[in-house]
Amino acid sequence: MKPLRLSEIAEILDGEMVGSEDPLITGAAGIEHAKPGDLTFLARSSFGKALAASGATAVLIGPQQEVGIPAIRVSDPYEAFAVYLEQLQTDLDRVFPPGIHSTAVIDPTADVSLAAAIGPYSVIGPGTVVRAGSRLGAHVVLGSDVTVGGDCLVYAGVILREGCQVGNRVIIHAGVILGSDGFGYFPGAKGIRKIPQVGIVEIQDDVEIGAGTCIDRATTGRTVVGQGSKVDNLVQIGHNVIIGKACSLSGQTGISGSTILGDGVITGGQVGIGDHLELGAGVKAGGQSGISWDIPAGVDVFGTPAIDFRESFRMFASLRRLPELLRRVKRLEQMNDSGADGSAGSNQNEKGQG
The catalytic site residues sit at 239
Distance from C-alpha of 8 to C-alpha of 183, rounded to nearest angstrom: 54
CA-nearest of 258, 79, 114, 131 to 183 is 258
Answer whether 226's CB lies under 8 Å from 247's CB: yes
DSSP annotation of 89 = S
Answer whether 167's CB lies under 8 Å from 207's CB: yes
Answer whether 157's CB lies under 8 Å from 177's CB: no
Answer whether 81's CB lies under 8 Å from 60's CB: yes
Distance from C-alpha of 225 to C-alpha of 154, rounded to nearest angstrom: 16
CA-nearest of 122, 111, 107 to 149 is 111
Question: How are beta strands 141-142 and 290-291 bridged, if at all?
Answer: unpaired
Answer whether 34's CB lies under 8 Å from 25's CB: no
The terminus-to-terminus CA distance of the chain in angstroms comes to 105
Q: Three-state SS for 23?
A: coil
